[in-house]
Amino acid sequence: MRPLPLITAALEKAQALDFLPPLAIRLYLLPTLYEGAHAKITGFSGLVSWFAAPASQGGLGMPFPLLMASLATAAETAGCVCLALGLFTRLMSLPLMVTMTVAGLTVHWSHGWAAIAGKTAESTLRMQAFMEWLWQNFPGRFNYITELGDPVILNNGIEFTATYLIMLAVLFFSGGGRYVSLDYWLTRSTYVRRMIAAA
């Protein structure tokens, strides 16, 4: 057998595993959605205040802050549950994409692309200078701080938000995947009932 038919046959057999990418995306998004939903629920009044405050005071200056905070909280909470179960995956992806888009435009856009400041950013250079000073004057504290990893400066750019948006778009078009989503089994049971009724 020539190489091309072998590759084609292998690719066709790999289709049996097509449920893994949607599952991986759902599992990847879960911690982010959980942290976001938990923070919004437990700090809801602060969230409303942040949405309402003008940009000059560190807020977002959004209209209808109570409504916007409620919608964001509901979307992330319901999204967390639905993505975990693979339930209404495509439908639930829509409000989550809207939430990510709003967050990207209102919070992260002005900071550029990178989520973590690059090595040439002024904030990173200042951090490096501080770490050098710490090493020279307090090596014990330096070792304690760097023991679990190097400190970084958060740039707060749109990188992560755009990544989540793309992943949610994939779920919107592909669904929750076969076998490991309630969507699959609900659709399958509906199909079976229709086949029985038509027989």
Summarize pLDDT for 108-127 with one digit per residue, the tens. 998 889 988 888 888 888 99
* Residue 51 belongs to some domain of the structure: yes
* Residue 175 belongs to some domain of the structure: yes
* Residue 1 belongs to some domain of the structure: no
pTM: 0.82
What DSSP element (H or E) covers 120? none
pLDDT over 90 at 72, yes or no: yes
* Residue 87 belongs to some domain of the structure: yes
* Residue 142 belongs to some domain of the structure: no
How many angstroms separate the CA atoms of 128 and 77, rounded? 38
81-87 average pLDDT score? 96
* Residue 75 belongs to some domain of the structure: yes
* Residue 133 belongs to some domain of the structure: no
Phi-psi region of 158 (alpha: psi -120 to 50; beta: other; left: phi over 0): alpha
**Number of domains comprising the chain:** 1
Q: Chain centroid to CA 192: how far?
A: 35
Computed over every residue of the chain, the mean pLDDT equals 90
Summarize pLDDT for 162-190 with one digit per residue, the tens. 999 999 999 999 999 999 999 999 988 87
Residues contacting 54, CB < 8 A, separation 6+: 61
Domain housing 188: 21-116+154-198
DSSP reduced 3-state for 154: strand
* Residue 2 belongs to some domain of the structure: no
pLDDT over 80 at 195, yes or no: no
